[in-house]
Amino acid sequence: MDIIKFTDNNKEVIAAAIEILNKGGIVIYPTETCYGVGVDATNQQAVNKVLEYKTKRADKALSIAVSDRKMAENYVELNNTATNLYNLYLPGPITVISRGKNKVANHVQALNGTQGIRIPDYKLIRDIVAQFGKPITATSANASYKKTPYHIDDILNNISKKQQKLIGLIIDGGQLPKRKPSIVTDTTVEDLTVVRRSDFDFENFKEYHSSCEKDTEDFSLEIFNKIQSYIGKKLIVFLLQGDLGTGKTFFTRAFAKHLGVKETVSSPTFILCREHQIPEAQGMLYHIDTYRMFEAKEMNDLRCEKMFKAPNILIIEWSDKVRNYIENFFDGAIVVDMYLEHIDMCKRKLLYAIRTF
């Protein structure tokens, strides 16, 4: 068993991990939740080794980590519900259960043919999986029924010598923040089912359908009414995601009317940010479009420290490009995650969740 400390040595760590994975060995790795245990999910001998390490029943499925949605689609069927979750919340601390394609080793998929997928919000792991070219198991690194591991000592002090000998490599990411394991959602049933909850809140997870501009205006009013009590008191951030033409700017224009904004709200694609005074809240509405940004850190050019303060409201289009970068500014904020999707020429599906940070 080798232990390698992860600092800024990405290439060294990735190479070491892939070497062990190619040999069918076990890699212990850090994530945004806790330490995980990974092997090649398509290698039966490697999977058997994880089952021995976990001392768990072979009839209990193992989630897998993939690098992105494209890789996920090689191993599972994504319905509309799953696709929306991927677009809204991944990478992130969510395991999405979908119908599997039977391309993994035995005991990875559940007996009913379903498969849990993780896209960790931990770039090192996504890079390892991307370069490895195959999914790895994504179960927590503790032996079954032992404490959740946030430090490698939590692992080594709670497993036997025999279990330790099964480990090929430990990537030591230091002390991880003590967050709950990923939330598990089953998208194979008609209604979204939360199998295991985490710090992630799905209580306000809702879906809305629009067949005309009037419907979208009504939707903007529904959102306005839900957060009206926070306007002028808290920082409010809208994270909008959806393809071109799904109505992100139209939603912003409709919402701005409820705020009393008098100026015409138009797309900020070519100037990145447009500013509008909110008359009654004594704050600003910042309408940001990150479509033309190459790197998330370009947000700094917009003076994040000034914008991300109460009582301002930010509406950010193509938010997935900067989401991880700007979350550092969300302390105490009300955040509205929104995904807009084409159904046909006129119809749109609008999925949203309101969270408090």
Neighbouring-strand partners of residue 167: 26
Question: Which tops the pLDDT comparison, 144 or 239?
Answer: 239
Structural domains in the chain, CATH included, are 2-196 (3.90.870.10), 206-356 (3.40.50.300)
pLDDT in tens, 310-346: 999 999 998 888 888 898 899 889 999 998 887 776 7
Question: Which tops the pLDDT comparison, 88 or 91?
Answer: 91
pLDDT in tens, 147-191: 889 999 999 999 999 999 999 999 999 999 887 777 788 888 655
Q: 213-227 vs 248-259: helix axis angle to the nearest 10?
A: 50
Question: Which tops the pLDDT comparison, 346 or 112?
Answer: 112
The yes-or-no verdict on residue 193 having pLDDT over 60 is no
Question: Which tops the pLDDT comparison, 80 or 125?
Answer: 125
Q: Which of these ranges, 90-94, 202-206, 270-274, 352-356, has the smallest mean pLDDT?
A: 202-206
CA dihedral of 69, 30, 198, 180, whole degrees rounded to 10: 180
- pLDDT averaged over every residue in the chain: 89
Amino acid at 268: P
Mean pLDDT of the 110-124 span: 93
The confidence band for 300, taking pLDDT boundaries of 50, 70 and 90, is: confident
Question: Which tops the pLDDT comparison, 80 or 133?
Answer: 133
Tell me the whole-structure pTM to 2 decimals. Answer: 0.58
Question: Which tops the pLDDT comparison, 357 or 251?
Answer: 251
Angle at 108 between CA 15 and CA 199, to 5 degrees: 80
The confidence band for 198, taking pLDDT boundaries of 50, 70 and 90, is: low
The yes-or-no verdict on residue 202 having pLDDT over 70 is no
Q: Is the peptide bond before 311 cis (omega within 30 degrees of 0)?
A: yes
